[in-house]
Structure formats: structure tokens, C-alpha cells
């Protein structure tokens, strides 16, 4: 009773005097010019205790105005260049005409640095609990919807969201958040009337309700009203797509549908979802809930749900209901809960994803993650096929945690990397409430979610308000949830070290491997049936615990996997003897999710190629699961038919993550490979190494540093009947190599430099390389590369150029490059180029330097993927004067780093295009590395 009284008092104090602003707009849409002329009358209510001398308004429509807005810079961080390169007529912007007060005196205004927030200076200070009227006249030029979904499409459709000026929030400080395409506009609660004029052939759907409409000869007039809402969202198009669904508790306006799900079944599912939302949250305070396909496309169900429709693994009913539930909950919470969406979004994420988990538990408890695919031959034996649908939440959250790029739930929304912002942090938030419900009881958490919604809907609230309600409704100490789980990235990881058995009890030692003070569950299992369950807390290091014996044959931590634990491979102990405790070896095709009860080894056919080995089929064996793991082995023996022998590679790698920033990772590696570098001539390498990585605390900067120390040991067997450059050197050699990288990866300005030091018994050398790329607003990209190398000591000078710097085709004595024919001096294989060392494309006479070399490589595109290039530099050999070298030509950059063609034009050789056998002078880049290709797609997410 006392707790309830405290709760009511706190709610009363925080919610009194919640007056709203009044906003009236008259808007006219010009379909030809794609402009909206707006006259806005805004009555601002100062609900604070401070006197205001200026007011700030969000003008997110102006975020498309130029390449220096916060939105354009955000896109650059995500490797999107569309807005940066947009033409003037494609840019959206706001053109202010006049800003006056209620005395019709002009007001001074200016944009803040992000270019999408307007500061308006008041002529008279605005005292607390008083109002001021501001009259604004402006035009909004809409952008095409190719940058974001906002704007117009090519089919007379318009999506208007955050399209007019809305008041920024003041809570003692102005909370000014620029548009970064994160769907997190923070605006005050407002009563808004919109009178909009638009062509008569268009239909309008909105989160506001339509109070009046009439049609004249060429236009229609609509009046839309929103009470105690944020901003009006309008979807305009030439056809009427939206249907109104009236359920017992909720009126829904939606265009969500499934092509294979009939209309009657769709209606039944919508009622089912609406009832679920009402039962778990409560009444919706507005006249209708707006649920659109556009909103779903901005925030879809990530994962297997995004497969093409012809391979959708789920029944249509389940697919539609999950899609509708997520979109409806998103809209429901956005329209009713007024938290800070930039800094406290984790609260609504937690509620939404918790209810998503609960919906599946209530209505689809047997739904598998792979759906119907789980029963297919060849798939059903995978651990992924046996996982329940809700197990995707810890799987995808852990995808981020295992890569050491996870971020706390309290991290501001605009500081999250894309994968965390879209997936991992949202899933972690929902999992957290499910974890809490498992620990304290579902009834308490369900009640907390509903209490929070009922008491704070349409009222400003904070994460502290949510915490207060959750803590008050729990009969256990749950401060760990907010102090450890929410506020930090500390991992949860427990293990059972040992178990001692007596006739009536079990004495087990539990180890907290990370020291994160959170509760852990323990299950007793017999024949895959739970026979006992316990919770233990306050284990910060190691504890010995005694439990009664209930005929269990296994003890398992976190058996139901409601706890997002970092490593579950050591969570169980068998009680049937030593050998039964050992994990069995399990061979599986390709790759799978991590199965904690087996030692998984994956196999996949591979096919290698070079001129000497031919097409080399083989079998790759590795232990890489969908989640990154500390220790990885990767072996790929192959058969080389040309040489009638085996070749391949093997590597062992151990990765140790440290802090969040600074020196964050150390890699220990042992690699080996063997192949042929000429007919009947084999090379083998063994290379132990250690690498150190550094990064800044702001992961969005895409800046990385690395230092790699390695010893490359090369062993060669050379056919004695062949005359090769390899005969001029010892067949076996060792090189100690230290290389430092510093890279800032940005689509507009890319900068990378490195220092490379090598030492062997024959030479000591240093090299420096710098690469810079600049993308201009005109879509011209300028590429610049500088290389300089110097021998400190070279005992091979004048004997062989095997270890010398090369202008156009390094000898690759460290065997780092994927040459198709590394010893070829003529023919198609010799035309392969790997841009390294000198980086030249023309084959010049005397292309090696045994003293020093300095070169510059440049290129600029002239039309799409057609570029012109030019290289210049100096080559110095011992005993001779330095020599000027240069070349130029045309580059077809068809797929960067994968397939490129170089056509030399002019060089030290003269006009190459006019010389015989020109086709032999054309150079090409070709790469078969899947890792490089996947990096092009994953870089924007991580």
C-alpha cells in the first residue's frame, strides 16, 4: 500500500500542468514543382520554470538542402553517397519567407550547425506559464524518395513525415536533435490542425484524423486534426490503398497486406493483434492507429523474414501477424510515449521487442526459426533448424557482442553503429525484459509495462520513470538490471567448473567468468525434460553451491536461453561419468549456429586455381560458426591435377578482445600454405604472427590502427632443369616483418597509410605507403597513392632482383598476393596486376630497384567507371643514377578490387597504343576473395 501511495504521488508531481502548444497550418501542394507552400500559426506555451528569449523549431525537411547537413554527413558514415552527389533540383529544402510575432513584428531567425533546426529570437522574453504566437510563412521543396522514404516518387506519390516546423523540447536545456534518418524526431506535445490543398485525383492517409473535406474543380481541401500528438504523417497517392479496420478496442488505418493471405483472414489477424496490444498496454488515446507499409519498410523484421517471397519459410498467417504486430507496436508507442527518442530509446525498444517475444510465446510456442525449412532434408540436422523463433534475438544480439562492437543500451541513438541501431540493441533491450520476467516473474514485468504505459501515455517521461515502476513492482532486488545490463556492455558468462555427487545432493562450483553481477539460472535435466530449476545471484567470482539431487542426468546453466549469455559452450555438466561429459565431434556441411553440446567441424568443397596447379578441388574444414569465436582453425587441402599432388593452406587464429577503445584486440596466428610457383616447383610457407588493433571510442568514425609482427618462413623446391630467377637465391629463407596500418574509411574522404619494415639475413628494408581518395560533389573521384621504399642493407644487389622493389609486378617473395601465374614473364597470366609497391601499369624496361624507389599513382574518373590514370616516380639502383619513370592510360573500374582493366597509352616506352601486340600490354585486376566482396556489404552495418 505504501509503495502504491509513493507511486501515485510521484506520478502526480511529474505530470501536473501538462499544457500543449497549438499549431495551425494551411498548406498547398504543388504537384508540378513538388513544393508545399505553408502558412503556420504557432502558439508556444512555456511550460518551464525559465524565461525564454529564443525558441527552437525542428525543420527536418531542410536536412536534404546540401552536402554539409547532419543527414548528409550521416550518410557518408554509412557509405551512401547519393545525397552528397544530388543535383540541385533533387535537393529538398525549406525556404523561409517571413517570421513574425503576434504584433506582426519581424523575428530574427537562423539555422543551427546541422542546418535543420531553426532558432527564432523573441522580441520580448517569454515568462514561465505564458504563451507567444509566431506566424511563419515558408515553402518546403520536397526531395525524391531515393535518399530516404521522405519526399515524392515517380508515380504521383508523396510521403510527408516531419515536413513542417515543430517545437524542440526544452527541459531546462534545449534538446536539439538533427535529422540523421533515425526516425527519432523529438518534439513537444502539440494540438495541430492542418488545412491542406492538393490535386483532386490524390488520396490522403494520415495518423491525424480527417474532420472535413470538399472538392472543387481541380483541387480538394482536407482538414486534418491531431490532439496531443507529435507531428502529422501523410501518405498521398493516386489510389486508395488504406483500409479502416474497426476492432473492439482500436480503430486501425492500414495498407499492410500479404499477397497470399486473403482479406477475411487478414481482418481476423488484425483483430487478434489489436486485442493483444490492448491487453498488454491499454487503450489507444487517439481516434485511429496509422499502420503503413512505408513504416514497415523503414523498420522491417530483420533476419530470415527478409528472404524473397518465393522462399519464405513461414506460414502466411504468422508472417503477416508478426509484420503487422511490429509495425503497429512501433506506431502505437511513438504516438503515445513522449520519451527522449535519441537518448532513451531503449525503453520503447524493450517494450516493443518484449511484447514481440511474448506474442510468439502465447500464440506460436512451437514456431521454429527456419519455419518450414526446418523439416527439409539436408537442413533439419542443422542446429539452426532446431532453434525456436525467439532464439533469433540472442543470436543477432550476440553477433554484435562477439565482434566486440556491442554498445550499451544507454548509448545515444545517433552514436550507434547501424547494426546495433537497427537490430542488436533493440533485441538486447527486449531480451532484457524477458530475462527480468524469467527472474522476477512474468506477471510483475507485464504489470510494469502496462503501468508505465497507462500512467505516462501522452505525458513527458524518462527512463528513470520506467525504472521506478519496474523496481516498485518487483519483490526482488533488480538494480543489477539497470546498473549492469542496461548501462554497460559487460558480458554475462558463467560456467560449471565441477560437480561433486552424493546420494542426496549435488555440490557444484559456479564460476562467473566476466564478473558481471547478474543472476544466473540452473536447470536439472533428465532425458531432455526439466526436473529442477534454480536461480543464483551475487556470484561475482566463484561460489560453491549445494542443491538436492532429483535424478538429473545433466546440469545446465541458462537452459531456456532467456539470458543473453556470451558463451554457452561451457554451460553444462553430465552426471553420467567423465566420458559422457566430453563433447562429441559433429561434422556439418558449410556453416551453422553454435551448438553448445558438440564440437562442430564444418566442411565445404573449395576450388582453387593457378596456372601450375590447374583447377584444384579440395575440402575446407573449419570451426567458424555464425557467431565469432576466440579460437578458429581453417584447413583446406586440395588436389592439384597438373602436378598430381596435394596443395592448400591451413591457419589457426586466437583473438583476444580487450577494452572498448584504444588497444581493443590482439590476434595470435599461425598460418601455412603450399602451392606451386612454376612447373614442378613448390613453395611452402609457415608464418606465426601477432597483431594489435586500436580504435577510437566513437565506432562511427571508421578509424582503425593495427600493428602486425610476423615471421615468414619460406621453403622452396625448384626443378633443377628450369632456369628461373629463383635459382639465384637460396631456396629457403626467413623474413621478419613489422607493419603498421592507419586507416580512416569514409566514402567521401578515404585515407590510409602504412609503414613496413622487413629484415632477413640478406637485406633490411623500409617502405611507406599512403592512399587517399576524394569524392567531389560533381561525382568526380580523385585517387592518389604514394609509395617510397629504401634498402638499409641489400646483399643481393647486382645478384638478383628477387627481393628488390618492383614497379609493376612485385615478385611477392612473402607470398601474400593471389597471382594466377606468379612466375610468368609473358602471356595472359603475366598481365595480371596487383597494385602494390610501385603500382605502375605499363611494363617498363628495368622495372626493379635494389636501392630505393618513390612513385605516385593517380587517377580520376571521367564518366562513371571510366577513369584516366597517371603514374610517375624515380627508380634508383646501386651504382647507377636515379631514373625518372612514368606511364598513363585508361582504367575501366568495373568492380573495384574485383575486376578492373588498364589500357596503357603513353609511358617511357612511348605511345604504347601504337605499338605492336598492344593486347599484350593491357593489364587486369581479378580477385576471387569472397571476404573482400562481403566487406562491401557489411561495412555500412559494422
pLDDT tens-digit profile of 135-148?
A: 999 999 999 999 99
C-beta pairs of 749-753 under 8 Å, 24+ apart in sequence = 749/773, 749/774, 749/775
Q: Which tens digit of pLDDT belongs to each residue from 460-470?
A: 999 999 999 99
215, 221, 225, 226: CA torsion to nearest 10: 120
Work out the angle at residue 503's Cα, subtended by the Cα atoms of residues 501 and 508, and round it to the nearest 5 degrees.
Answer: 25
Q: Is 162 left (phi over 0), alpha (psi -120 to 50) or beta?
A: left
pLDDT > 80? residue 942: no
Question: Which range among 291-305, 352-366, 671-685 shows the weakest confidence by mean pLDDT?
Answer: 291-305
Write down the pLDDT at residue 6: 45
CB-CB contact of 576 with 569 (8 Å):
no
3-class SS at 830?
helix
User: Which strand (E) or helix (H) includes residue 276?
Assistant: helix 263-280
**How many residues would you count in the chain?**
942
Higher pLDDT, 489 or 942: 489
Q: Distance of CA 859 to CAs 299, 363, 785, 787, Å?
A: 39, 60, 9, 15
Q: Is the pLDDT of residue 10 over 90?
A: no
873-to-771, 775, 784, 860 alpha-carbon distances in Å: 15, 25, 13, 18
Confidence at 551, pLDDT banded by 50, 70, 90: confident
Neighbours of 352 (CB within 10 A): 21
When the pLDDT of each residue in the chain is averaged and rounded to a whole number, the result is 92
Looking at the DSSP bridge assignments, the partners of residue 198 are 220
Among the listed residues 336, 496, 415, 465, the one whose alpha carbon sits nearest the alpha carbon of residue 661: 415
Asked if 185 and 262 count as a contact pair (C-beta separation under 8 A), the reply is: no
CATH number attached to the domain at 1-240 = 2.60.40.1730
pLDDT band at 864 (very low <50, low <70, confident <90, very high): confident
**% of the chain at pLDDT higher than 70:** 95
pLDDT for 939:
72
User: In which residue ranges of the chain is CATH 2.60.40.10 found?
Assistant: 494-582
For 488-517, letters b (16+ CB in 10 Å) and e give ebbbbbbbbeebeeeeeebebebebbeebb
pLDDT of residue 305: 62
Say if pTM beats, i.e. exceeds, 0.85.
Answer: yes
Model confidence at 579, pLDDT cuts 50, 70, 90, reads: low
Q: What's the pLDDT at 85?
A: 86
Q: What is the pLDDT of residues 716-745, one digit of tens each?
A: 998 887 655 445 678 899 999 999 999 999
Contact (CB, 8 A) for 649 and 639 = no
What is the average per-residue pLDDT within 314-337? 96
Name which of 596, 403, 623, 393 is nearest 491 in CA terms: 403
Task: Give pLDDT, residue 14.
Answer: 42
Domain 658-938, CATH: 2.40.160
For the stretch 82-132, pLDDT in tens is 898 888 899 999 999 999 999 999 999 999 988 999 999 999 999 999 999
For 401-448, the pLDDT digits (tens) are: 999 999 999 999 999 999 999 999 999 999 999 999 999 999 999 999
- Residue-wise pLDDT for 749-785, tens only, equals 999 999 999 999 999 999 999 999 998 878 889 999 9
Mean pLDDT of 638-657: 96
Rounded-to-integer distance, Cα 790 and Cα 837, Å: 11
> Quick one: DSSP state of residue 806?
E
Please give, one letter per residue, the 3-state secondary structure of 688-735.
EEEEEEEECCCHHHCEEEEEEEEEEEEEEECCCCCCCHHHHCCCCEEE
DSSP letters for 626-678: SS--SEEEEEEEEEETTTTEEEEEEEEEEEEE--SSEEEEEEEEEEEEEEEEE
Burial per residue of 810-847, b for 16 or more beta-carbon CB atoms within 10 angstroms, e otherwise: bbbbbbeebbbbbbbeeeebbbbbbbbbbbbbbbbeeb
The three state secondary structure string of 754-787 is: EEEEEECCCEEEEEEEEEEEEECCCCCEEEEEEE
Q: How confident is the model at residue 2 (pLDDT cuts 50, 70, 90)?
A: very low
3 state DSSP class of 570: coil
**d(Cα 923, Cα 488) in Å, to the nearest integer?**
52
d(CA 685, CA 677): 12
Contact between 159 and 235 (Cβ < 8 Å): yes
Sign of CA dihedral 792, 796, 801, 803: negative
Q: CATH second-level architecture of 494-582?
A: Sandwich (2.60)
Please give the Cα distance from 493 to 486 (Å, whole number).
Answer: 16
Contact 228/20 with Cβ under 8 angstroms?
A: yes
DSSP 327-344: HHHHHHHHHH-B--TTTS
Closest CA to 414 of 333, 341, 330: 341
* Strands, sheet with 117-126, edge to edge from the N-terminal-most edge strand: 109-111, 117-126, 52-58, 166-167
pLDDT band at residue 17 using 50, 70 and 90 as cut-offs:
very low
CA angle, corner 16, sides to 11 and 22, nearest 5? 130
How many Cα neighbours within 13 Å face the side chain of 563? 23
- Pairwise CA distance, residues 627 & 174, whole Å: 42
Query: In sequence order, which residues have a C-beta less than 8 Å from that of residue 888 and are 6 or more positions away?
Result: 868, 869, 870, 871, 904, 905, 906, 907
| Rounded distance between C-alpha atoms, residue 861 and residue 846, angstroms | 30
Report CA-CA distances (Å) from 273 to 262, 279, 285: 17, 10, 17
| pLDDT score of 13 | 41
DSSP annotation of 537: -
CA 88/CA 197 separation, integer angstroms: 26
What pLDDT does residue 578 have? 62
Residues 6+ apart with CB under 8 A from 917: none
Amino acid at each position: 500500500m505504501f509503495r502504491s501511495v509513493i507511486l501515485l504521488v510521484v506520478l502526480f508531481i511529474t505530470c501536473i500542468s501538462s499544457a500543449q502548444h497549438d499549431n495551425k497550418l494551411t498548406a498547398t501542394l504543388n504537384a508540378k514543382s513538388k513544393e508545399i507552400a505553408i502558412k503556420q500559426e504557432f502558439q508556444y506555451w512555456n511550460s518551464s520554470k525559465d524565461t525564454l528569449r529564443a525558441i527552437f523549431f525542428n525543420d527536418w525537411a531542410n536536412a536534404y538542402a546540401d552536402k554539409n547537413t547532419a543527414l548528409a554527413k550521416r550518410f557518408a558514415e554509412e557509405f551512401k553517397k547519393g545525397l552528397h552527389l544530388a543535383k540541385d533540383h533533387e535537393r529538398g529544402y525549406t525556404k523561409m519567407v517571413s517570421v513574425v510575432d503576434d504584433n506582426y513584428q519581424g523575428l530574427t531567425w537562423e539555422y543551427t550547425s546541422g542546418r535543420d533546426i531553426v532558432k527564432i529570437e523573441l522580441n520580448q522574453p517569454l515568462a514561465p506559464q505564458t504563451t507567444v504566437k509566431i506566424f511563419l510563412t515558408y515553402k518546403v521543396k520536397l526531395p525524391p524518395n531515393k535518399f530516404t522514404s521522405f519526399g515524392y516518387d515517380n508515380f504521383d506519390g508523396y510521403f510527408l513525415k516531419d515536413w513542417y516546423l515543430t517545437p524542440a523540447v526544452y527541459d531546462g536545456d534545449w534538446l536539439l536533435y538533427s535529422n540523421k534518418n533515425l526516425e527519432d524526431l523529438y518534439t513537444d506535445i502539440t494540438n495541430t490542425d492542418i488545412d491542406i490543398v492538393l490535386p483532386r485525383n490524390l488520396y490522403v492517409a494520415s495518423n491525424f484524423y480527417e474532420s472535413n473535406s470538399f472538392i472543387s474543380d481541380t483541387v480538394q481541401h482536407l482538414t486534418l486534426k491531431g490532439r496531443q500528438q507529435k507531428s502529422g504523417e501523410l501518405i498521398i497517392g493516386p489510389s486508395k490503398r488504406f483500409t479502416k479496420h474497426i476492432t473492439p478496442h482500436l480503430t486501425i488505418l492500414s495498407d499492410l497486406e500479404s499477397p497470399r493471405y486473403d482479406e477475411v483472414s487478414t481482418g481476423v489477424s488484425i483483430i487478434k493483434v489489436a486485442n493483444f496490444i490492448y491487453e498488454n498496454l491499454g487503450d489507444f488515446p487517439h481516434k485511429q492507429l496509422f499502420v503503413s507499409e512505408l513504416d514497415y519498410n523503414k523498420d522491417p523484421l530483420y533476419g530470415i523474414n527478409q528472404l524473397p517471397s518465393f522462399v519464405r519459410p513461414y506460414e502466411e498467417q504468422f508472417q503477416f501477424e508478426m509484420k503487422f504486430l511490429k509495425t503497429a507496436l512501433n506506431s502505437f508507442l511513438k504516438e503515445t510515449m513522449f520519451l527522449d527518442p535519441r537518448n532513451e530509446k531503449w525503453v520503447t525498444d524493450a517494450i516493443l521487442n518484449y511484447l514481440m517475444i511474448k506474442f510468439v510465446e502465447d500464440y506460436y510456442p512451437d514456431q521454429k526459426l527456419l519455419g518450414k525449412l526446418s523439416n527439409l532434408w539436408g537442413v533439419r540436422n542443422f542446429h539452426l533448424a532446431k532453434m525456436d523463433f525467439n532464439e533469433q534475438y540472442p543470436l543477432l544480439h550476440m553477433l554484435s557482442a562477439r565482434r566486440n562492437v556491442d554498445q550499451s543500451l544507454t548509448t545515444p541513438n545517433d552514436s550507434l553503429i547501424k547494426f546495433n541501431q537497427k537490430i542488436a540493441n533493440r533485441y538486447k533491450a527486449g531480451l532484457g525484459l524477458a530475462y527480468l520476467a524469467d527472474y522476477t516473474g512474468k506477471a510483475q514485468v507485464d504489470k510494469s509495462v502496462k503501468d508505465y504505459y497507462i500512467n505516462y501515455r501522452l505525458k513527458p517521461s524518462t527512463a528513470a520513470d520506467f525504472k521506478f515502476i519496474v523496481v516498485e513492482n518487483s519483490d526482488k532486488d533488480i538494480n543489477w538490471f539497470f546498473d549492469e545490463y542496461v548501462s554497460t556492455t559487460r558480458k554475462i558468462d558463467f560456467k560449471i567448473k565441477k560437480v561433486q555427487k552424493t546420494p542426496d545432493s549435488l555440490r557444484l562450483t559456479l564460476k562467473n567468468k566476466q564478473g558481471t553481477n547478474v543472476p544466473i539460472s540452473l536447470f536439472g535435466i533428465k532425458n531432455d525434460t526439466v526436473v529442477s530449476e534454480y536461480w543464483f545471484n551475487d556470484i561475482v567470482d566463484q561460489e560453491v553451491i549445494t542443491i538436492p539431487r532429483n535424478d538429473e542426468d545433466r546440469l545446465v546453466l541458462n537452459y531456456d536461453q532467456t539470458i543473453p549469455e556470451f558463451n554457452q559452450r561451457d554451460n553444462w555438466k553430465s552426471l553420467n561419468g567423465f566420458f559422457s561429459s566430453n563433447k562429441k565431434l559433429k561434422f556439418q556441411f558449410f556453416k551453422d549456429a553454435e551448438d553448445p553440446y558438440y564440437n562442430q567441424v564444418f566442411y565445404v568443397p573449395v576450388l582453387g586455381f593457378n596456372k601450375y596447379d590447374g583447377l584444384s578441388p579440395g575440402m575446407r574444414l573449419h570451426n567458424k560458426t555464425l557467431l565469432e569465436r576466440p579460437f578458429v582453425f581453417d584447413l583446406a587441402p586440395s588436389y592439384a591435377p597438373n602436378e598430381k599432388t596435394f596443395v592448400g593452406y591451413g591457419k589457426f587464429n586466437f583473438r583476444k578482445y580487450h577494452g572498448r577503445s584504444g588497444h581493443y584486440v590482439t590476434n595470435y596466428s599461425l598460418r601455412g600454405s603450399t602451392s606451386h610457383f612454376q612447373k614442378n616447383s613448390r613453395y611452402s610457407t609457415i608464418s606465426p604472427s601477432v597483431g594489435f588493433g586500436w580504435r577510437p571510442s566513437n565506432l562511427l568514425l571508421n578509424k582503425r590502427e593495427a600493428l602486425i609482427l610476423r615471421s615468414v618462413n619460406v621453403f622452396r623446391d625448384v626443378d633443377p632443369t628450369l632456369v628461373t630467377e629463383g635459382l639465384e637465391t637460396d631456396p629457403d629463407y626467413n623474413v621478419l616483418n613489422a607493419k603498421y596500418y592507419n586507416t580512416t574509411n569514409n566514402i567521401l574522404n578515404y585515407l590510409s597509410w602504412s609503414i613496413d619494415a622487413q629484415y632477413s639475413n640478406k637485406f633490411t628494408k623500409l617502405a611507406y605507403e599512403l592512399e587517399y581518395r576524394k569524392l567531389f560533389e560533381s561525382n568526380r573521384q580523385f585517387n592518389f597513392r604514394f609509395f617510397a621504399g629504401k634498402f638499409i642493407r641489400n646483399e643481393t644487389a647486382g645478384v638478383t632482383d628477387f627481393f628488390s622493389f618492383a614497379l609493376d609486378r612485385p615478385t611477392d617473395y612473402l607470398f601474400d598476393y593471389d597471382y594466377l601465374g606468379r612466375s610468368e614473364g609473358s602471356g595472359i597470366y603475366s598481365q595480371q596486376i596487383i597494385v602494390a609497391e610501385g603500382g605502375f601499369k605499363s611494363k617498363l624496361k628495368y622495372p626493379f630497384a635494389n636501392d630505393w624507389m618513390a612513385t605516385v599513382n593517380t587517377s580520376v574518373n571521367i564518366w562513371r567507371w571510366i577513369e584516366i590514370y597517371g603514374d610517375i616516380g624515380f627508380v634508383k639502383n646501386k651504382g647507377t643514377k636515379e631514373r625518372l619513370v612514368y606511364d598513363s592510360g585508361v582504367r575501366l573500374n568495373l568492380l573495384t578490387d574485383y575486376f578492373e582493366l588498364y589500357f596503357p597509352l603513353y609511358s617511357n616506352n612511348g605511345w604504347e597504343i601504337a605499338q605492336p601486340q598492344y593486347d599484350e600490354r593491357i593489364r587486369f585486376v581479378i580477385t576471387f576473395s569472397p571476404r573482400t566482396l562481403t566487406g562491401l556489404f557489411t561495412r555500412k552495418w559494422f
